[in-house]
Amino acid sequence: MNTETNNIGKVALVFGGSRGIGAAAVRRLSRDGFSVGLTYVSRHDSAQDVVDAVVADGGQAFAVQADSADATAIRTAVEKVAAHFGRLDVVVVNAGILRLGLVDTFTLADLDQVLQVNIRGVYLAIQAAVAHMGEKGSVITIGSNSAVRPLVPIGTVYGMSKAAVAAMIKGLALDLAPRNIRVNNIQPGPIETDMTAEHIEHIKDLVPLGRVGKTQDVAELISYLAGASSRYMTGSSLTIDGGMTL
């Protein structure tokens, strides 16, 4: 296993780390030398597969069930990971949900759920995590390029929630700068995962680079923001979408 020696002994926590971008982040951070905790909502089997893959590669991983709509579950997950590994240095808030619909059909239940998970849940995850960080660390949120501009008419609420995250991290960067905890946001475009498999081929023609993203593309950027190479960066939103929102 190739690791960054300056990360050996450090701990990362990935919210929503059992599938897709989150799973790729767990594996990449492990290769970078971090011990990694990850949360999942219901797919214990997927979470265990990620843990097993990390262990097989010589790393350490620990999975905790937590619904990002549940404030107590969020706090408990952070406490369990910090207790298991003895510290916390990096948190990646990847958990989120997608609900689509036009304004005249979007239900109140869907609106409340998106706001609860994609905004409230992100804030609470960061709040809980930084309580266990020292005077140095990195917070990374996973937003969306839909925060830059609307891509489809049915994506208003989702884009709104991700724009709120982009605004949130600027204020949090100021809050946490005295502790040298950096806060940055990644805004992916369409990424090839099991959740997007059905319609991803229809999107690639909209991307100037001619392909949709891979989870590894985003994991590389997470690795950069988690490591020392980005030590002078905070409060930034980085769009990674093959030029889709140019």
From the candidates 123, 158, 224, 232, give the one annotated as an active-site residue.
158
Q: Which two structure tokens, joined as six digits, stand for 134?
A: 């020292």
Residue 123 annotated to the active site: no
In DSSP terms, 185 is beta-bridged to 141, 237
Of 96, 194, 80, 173, the C-alpha closest to 129 is 80
Q: Which residues contact 158 (CB under 8 A, 6 or more apart)?
A: 98, 99, 100, 114, 118, 144, 146
The continuous run of DSSP H or E covering 50 comes out as: helix 44-56
Cα gap 144→158, rounded to integer Å: 9
* Spatial strand order in the sheet of 35-40: 61-65, 35-40, 11-15, 90-93, 137-142, 181-188, 237-240
Amino acid code (one letter) for 245: T
Cα gap 199→202, rounded to integer Å: 6
* Backbone phi, psi, residue 161, to 5°: -65, -35
13 in helix, strand or coil?
Answer: strand
**Residues 158/188, Cβ–Cβ less than 8 Å:** no
Catalytic positions are: 158
